[in-house]
Amino acid sequence: MDAAAELNRSQICPEDLVRTCESIVTTVEKLGFKILLDPLKRSQEIGRGFSSRVFLVSRPDGSKAALKIRRARSKRDSLALEGYILELLMGSYIAPRVFSYGDDYILMEYISGISVGRAFELFKRGAIDDPYLRSAISSTLKALHILDSLGIDHLEIGDPREHIIFHHGIPYAVKIIDFESATLKPYPSNLPRFIGGFILRKASWIFGVNIEEILEMMRIYKKDHVMRGYIVNRLVEAISIKNPF
């Protein structure tokens, strides 16, 4: 094993990460991925939470990926469920593609772009226009309906400012990230949570109807699972025009 490989391991495995960190780096390298270091030979950390840290790595084709490693004192004893959920979502294209995962790590696609929170900030400043925002929110509703249909409860979608990304800034390329606290359950309500916790506070005007009408649609969405597809289509249609009903 060469010195560079040893350097990569020592730089990406500080004491606060799990003891399996070095073997995780070995696994990642065997898959053809490489740990990216900055000019000071430090690993490029792109995210940090109570349960894990996320580092930037390069894929075999030269593009970027993200390596999430569990922290030693994490209250979560495994990242496997999050990896499994990403695997379930592989065919939907609404979440990062997962390359490998285990109890202590997830190797996945690196997502960059404009977060939904940032999109609203840019809209207020006139940096993005009304059609962009409408397209972005319509695409988000469709993506959240997919989560609900697959029985994936994100739990943090009520405040999604950093959890919903428009990949490469494309409004219809919605990527939902950070499923660390997500669970599997029949008929979750990600879409009502997003609308009630975020859209109605930020941009209720985008639907073109009063709030009570939207709230009634959300009540039906939660109770009548057969009506869910119809309600999503109606909401998307409402957003696509300025005076829908």
Spatial separation of the C-alpha atoms in residues 42 and 141, rounded to whole Å: 39
Mean pLDDT for the stretch of residues 94-102: 97
Mean pLDDT (whole number) for 220-237? 96
> Does 103 share its domain with 132?
no
Indicate if 122 and 234 belong to the same structural domain: yes
Q: Does residue 170 lie in a domain region?
A: yes
Task: Give the per-residue pLDDT at 187.
Answer: 94
Task: Kindly calculate the radius of gyration of the chain based on its CA atoms and give it in whole angstroms.
Answer: 20
Residue 194 has pLDDT above 50, yes or no: yes
93 and 146 co-located in one domain: no
Q: Of 109, 137, 160, which residue sits at a domain end? A: 109
Question: What pLDDT is recorded for position 1?
Answer: 43
Do 158 and 197 belong together in one domain? Answer: yes
- Domain assignment of residue 129, yes or no: yes
Tell me: do 236 and 118 sit in the same domain. yes
Same domain, 152 and 177: yes
Quick: pLDDT tens for 121-135: 999 999 999 999 999
Mean pLDDT, range 2-16, rounded to an integer: 60
Instruction: With cut-offs at 50, 70 and 90, classify the pLDDT of residue 192.
Output: very high
Residue 245, pLDDT above cutoff 60: no
| End position of a domain, from candidates 51, 74, 109 | 109
Q: Which residues pair with 34 in a beta bridge?
A: 58
pLDDT at 50: 86
Q: How far apart are the first and last CA of the chain?
A: 67
30 within a domain of the structure (yes/no): yes
Q: Write the pLDDT tens digit of every residue in 156-191.
A: 998 888 999 999 999 999 999 999 999 999 999 999
| Burial of 25 per CB tally in 10 Å (0-12, 13-18, 19+) | buried
pLDDT for res 11: 65
Strand order in the sheet with 113-115: 113-115, 164-167, 174-176
69 assigned to some structural domain? yes
Task: Check residue 82 and give its pLDDT.
Answer: 97
| 61 and 138 share one domain | no
Please give the residue range of the domain that contains residue 207.
Answer: 113-240
User: Is residue 126 domain-shared with residue 68, that is, in the same domain?
Assistant: no
Q: Which range (6-10, 56-60, 161-165, 234-238) has the least confidence?
A: 6-10
pTM for this structure?
A: 0.89
Residue 30 has pLDDT above 50, yes or no: yes
- On whether both 132 and 93 belong to a single domain, the answer is no
- Nearest-angstrom CA–CA distance, 2 and 166: 39
The listed range with the strongest mean pLDDT (6-10, 115-119, 198-202) is 115-119
> What pLDDT was estimated at residue 241?
65
Mean pLDDT across 55-79: 91
**Average of per-residue pLDDT across 139-159:** 95
Tell me what the mean pLDDT of segment 13-24 comes to: 89
CATH of the domain at 105: 3.30.200.20
Asked if 10 and 43 sit in the same domain, the reply is: yes
Q: Is 90 exceeded by the pLDDT of residue 150?
A: yes
Evaluate whether residue 245 is within a structural domain: no
Range name among 37-41, 140-144, 148-152 with the lowest pLDDT average: 37-41
Over residues 189-207, mean pLDDT: 91
Decide if 127 is inside a domain.
yes
Asked if the structure places residue 31 within a domain, the reply is yes
Residue 122's pLDDT is what?
96
Residues 36, 152, single domain; the answer is no
Cα-Cα-Cα-Cα dihedral of 176, 51, 18, 31, to 10°? 0
Select from 61, 93, 109 the last residue of a domain: 109
Same domain, yes or no: 187 and 159 = yes
**Number of domains making up the chain:** 2
